[in-house]
Amino acid sequence: MPELRQDPITLRWVTIATERAKRPTAFTRTAKAAVAPSAECPFDEGHESMTPPETMAYRAPGTAPNTPGWEFRVVPNLYPAFGPADAAPEVKVVGPYTTMRGSGVHEVLIDSPDHYRDIADFDVAKVDQIIRGYLDRYQAAASNPFVQYVLLIINHGREAGASLEHPHSQLFGIPLVPEAVAEELRGVARFQREHGSCPYCRMLTYEREAGERLIFENDSFLVFAPFASRTPFESWIVPGWHSARFEALADGQRRSFAEALHVLLARLKRGLNDPPYNFYIHTAPAREAAEEYHWHAELLPKLAIAAGFELGTGIMINVATPESAAEFLRGVDEHAAPAQAAAGAASHA
């Protein structure tokens, strides 16, 4: 069972998940991590028996679970970093150290039966279905009394940590509020105290006026390169109204988010030849009111290595300005010829 351990000085947690060492790629050098070809892909249609039994799926009426006929499918991660879901996250103190059972949820959300096409390629209606699936699983994970935080991520491309090529997301339900979110909650409270407003709301106003870091805007969402971008082409998707929770998205807002996410990913894919990236959604903790929080999504292309300087300081070295990255992405046509997308997909083969 995974175990959470806390550094006694920084109070930073790590999860020791030795189950994951059984993955074929666990100790392979990252540069050589294998990506399964389609014939062996456990996420392809007809290969349903290669995954644990599905947790839920959107599928054609009359089709049975764990058989073909699905459009979006959720399965437990075969090598979970958190679990099981029904174990209390007991805390133990050992000498100067603190440890906690790594109980929780770790699911894989498969975009579609298509091995090659992803959110960058689908139409907005299909992306909207995927986001509906995200919301469904958020609510299920948050209903687990041991889960303190729910995180949705996409790792795209092997350099970004994807061990399987077939487009998918991952959902984690974890037994603590992670430091990256706690830090934002403290920052929101401090900004509110010092400036009398939500910093995300303030940024939305400022970025709309400044314009130089804008990438895309629709009726509900602003997509922009953050002022302190950690990597070239880092991009945030922020709701234009104050809202603490992704999982509170109404139907129309959900469709606007689907559009914003699709446009951003399509421009990255067409403009930068399908770069590897990490994506995650930051929402309020599951068991706190946290109404002052402003949920958002962050995307970081994997175009640099966090090396000794970054690890030793916590300061990322970014070799491109967010202004130049945003200018470039504003100029990319997300409706570029599908040949481009196919070339992008092929580069993973």
Stretch that binds a copy of itself, among 57-65, 203-211, 214-222, 262-270 (CB under 8 A): 203-211
Minimum CB separation from a copy of itself for residue 115, in Å? 21
Q: Which of residues 107-136 bind a copy of itself (CB under 8 A)?
A: none
Please tell me the distance from the alpha carbon of residue 295 to that of residue 239, in angstroms, as a whole number: 7
Please tell me the distance from the alpha carbon of residue 43 to that of residue 113, in angstroms, as a whole number: 7
* Residue whose structure tokens are 């945030």: 236
Minimum CB separation from a copy of itself for residue 283, in Å? 11
Q: Is 203 in the site for a copy of itself (CB under 8 A)?
A: yes
C-alpha angle 333-334-335 in degrees, rounded to nearest 5: 90
Comparing CA positions, the residue from 115, 111, 160, 121 lying closest to residue 263 is 121
| Amino acid symbol at 46 | G
Q: Which of residues 139-198 bind a copy of itself (CB under 8 A)?
A: 149, 151, 153-155, 158-162, 170, 172, 174, 178-181, 183-184, 187-188, 191, 195
Stretch that binds a copy of itself, among 48-56, 120-128, 221-229, 328-336 (CB under 8 A): 221-229
Stretch that binds a copy of itself, among 20-28, 117-125, 261-269, 338-346 (CB under 8 A): 20-28
Comparing CA positions, the residue from 196, 236, 183 lying closest to residue 12 is 183
Q: And the tokens for 62? A: 């009359």
The yes-or-no answer on residue 168 being catalytic is yes
Q: For the purposes of burial, counting CB atoms within 10 Å of the CB of 209, is it exposed (0-12), middle (13-18) or buried (19 or more)? A: exposed
Q: Is 78 in the site for a copy of itself (CB under 8 A)?
A: no
* Residue whose structure tokens are 């994970």: 141
- Lay out the site mask for a copy of itself across 38-57 (x = CB under 8 A, - = otherwise): --------------------
Question: Would you say 123 or 209 has its CB closer to a copy of itself?
Answer: 209
CA distances from 20 to 193, 233, 285 (A): 43, 30, 26
Minimum CB separation from a copy of itself for residue 346, in Å? 15
Please tell me the distance from the alpha carbon of residue 191 to that of residue 345, in angstroms, as a whole number: 43
Other beta carbons within 10 Å of 16: 13
Stretch that binds a copy of itself, among 1-9, 59-67, 111-119, 240-248 (CB under 8 A): 1-9
The secondary structure of 171-205 as a DSSP string is EEEESS--HHHHHHHHHHHHHHHHHSS-HHHHHHH
Question: Would you say 189 or 250 has its CB closer to a copy of itself?
Answer: 189
Q: Which of residues 274-303 bind a copy of itself (CB under 8 A)?
A: 275-276, 278-282, 298, 300, 302-303
Minimum CB separation from a copy of itself for residue 25, in Å? 10
Options 35, 36, 41, 316; binder of a copy of itself; rule CB under 8 A: 316
Options 24, 38, 90, 97; binder of a copy of itself; rule CB under 8 A: 97
Q: Is 16 in the site for a copy of itself (CB under 8 A)?
A: yes
Active site residues: 168
